């Protein structure tokens, strides 16, 4: 092996300095053209609505347009894979639900991307607040009474969901796991028939987003038992959380922005800063709360830690429920 000469060291030093300066200049000029925000669901759903609500004000902050690109399929895997294989230049963003990095690693035998190494969390947009409701025929008005009733009547309470491994299913299994109760999952082919049978009393309970269930709650068709998130909701301020009885219980769905790993830290920090500013806007915050979405700004490191904690939590729930990877 040749010894490293003084001239070689000088050359390497100049090269490294040049690369660092070029990288800094690139980050300072970013963005200089339109960005793409990939939403891994079809247009019109809650995730698509949230993505569009933040896209316009974020575009104004960045000085470049943001194009919404809906890429639905495979529980958000198709959209996530597209971003995971995009250039690491900060121009392709992923609206990230729990699937790509949190639940899919335990639900799918093989993913086309590495959920830990290929995507980097950038900014937390908020959580879709979940609520536990029962049909009025169930003789329980709070979480303590519901758990007591379930223990006294094992296997007699059914909880609905729009399908196996959906957020509703996992939320019910989480309650079953932590409370030590025997309740039976009834999967449907979609949210509409699941809600229809709940309203008819053919199933007795569910955990779903507040946005989906609030009209039925306000109409008295369903009885709210508890908020299934860490914080109480301004929409139902007097309704306790399950976490007030069972510490740490949180079945809400996290939504955050991520990019291809390898994106320059300065670009990630800029995106995080601008998004946190957007989420602090009173009008937007009020709009999100009306939709049952709790804004939750945070740093990239905080969000990365939360994603890892959520991945481990739901892995235990999925294993305890016996849901096998497909």
Quick check: 16 pLDDT over 90?
A: no
- State the average pLDDT for the chain: 92
Residue 63 reports pLDDT greater than 70: yes
The confidence score (pLDDT) of residue 326 equals 73
DSSP per-residue codes, 142-177: SHHHHHHHHHHSTT--EEEESSTTSHHHHHHHHHHH
Q: Tens of pLDDT along 195-226?
A: 999 999 999 999 999 999 999 999 999 999 99
Query: In which band, very low, low, confident or very high, does the pLDDT at 21 lie, cut at 50, 70 and 90?
Result: very low
Cβ-contact 134, 225 below 8 angstroms: yes
Q: Which of 227, 302, 273, 316 is nearest to 62 (CA)?
A: 273
CB-side neighbour CA atoms (13 Å) of 251: 28
Judged by average pLDDT, the poorest of 20-34, 171-185, 245-259 is 20-34
What does DSSP say about strands 293-295 and 119-128: parallel, antiparallel, or unpaired? antiparallel
pLDDT digits (tens, 9 = 90+) for 117-131: 999 999 999 999 999
**What's the pLDDT band for 9 if we cut at 50, 70, 90?**
low
Residue 26 predicted with pLDDT over 60: no
> What is the three-class DSSP state of 252?
coil
Of 83, 103, 105, the closest CA to residue 257 belongs to 83
What is the Cβ-side half-sphere exposure of residue 302, based on CA atoms within 13 angstroms? Answer: 10
pLDDT at 14: 52
Which structure tokens are listed for 135? 């049909």
Domains and CATH numbers, the chain: 35-126+253-321 (3.40.190.150), 130-244 (3.40.190.10)
Q: 3-class DSSP state for residue 181?
A: coil
7-28 average pLDDT score: 54
């Amino acid at each position: 092996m040749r010894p490293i000469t003084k001239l070689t060291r000088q050359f390497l030093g100049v090269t490294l300095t040049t690369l660092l300066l070029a990288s800094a200049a690139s980050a300072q000029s970013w963005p200089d053209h339109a960005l793409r925000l990939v939403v891994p669901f079809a247009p019109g759903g809650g995730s698509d609505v949230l993505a569009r609500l933040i896209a316009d004000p974020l575009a104004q902050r960045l000085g470049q347009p943001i194009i919404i690109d809906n890429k639905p399929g495979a529980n958000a895997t198709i959209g996530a894979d597209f971003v995971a294989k995009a250039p690491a230049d900060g121009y392709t963003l992923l609206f990230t639900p729990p699937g790509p990095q949190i639940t899919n690693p335990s639900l799918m035998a093989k993913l086309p991307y590495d959920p830990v190494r290929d995507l980097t969390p950038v900014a937390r947009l908020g959580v879709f607040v979940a609520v536990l409701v029962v049909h009025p025929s169930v003789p329980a008005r709070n979480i303590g009474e519901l758990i007591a009733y379930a223990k006294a009547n094992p296997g007699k309470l059914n909880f609905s969901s729009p399908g196996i491994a959906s957020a509703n299913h996992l939320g019910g299994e989480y309650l079953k796991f932590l409370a030590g109760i025997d309740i039976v999952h009834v999967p449907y082919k979609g949210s509409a028939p699941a809600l229809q049978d709940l309203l008819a009393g053919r199933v007795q309970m569910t955990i779903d987003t507040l946005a989906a269930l609030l009209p039925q709650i306000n109409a008295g068709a369903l009885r709210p038992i508890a908020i299934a998130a860490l914080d109480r909701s301004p929409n139902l301020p007097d309704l306790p959380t399950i976490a007030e009885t069972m510490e740490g219980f949180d079945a809400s769905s996290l939504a955050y922005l991520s990019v291809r790993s390898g994106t320059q830290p300065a670009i990630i920090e800029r995106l995080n800063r601008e998004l946190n500013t957007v989420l602090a806007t009173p009008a937007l915050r009020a709009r999100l709360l009306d939709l049952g979405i709790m804004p939750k700004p945070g740093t990239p490191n905080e969000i990365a830690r939360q994603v890892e904690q959520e991945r481990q939590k739901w892995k235990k729930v999925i294993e305890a429920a016996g849901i096998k990877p497909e």
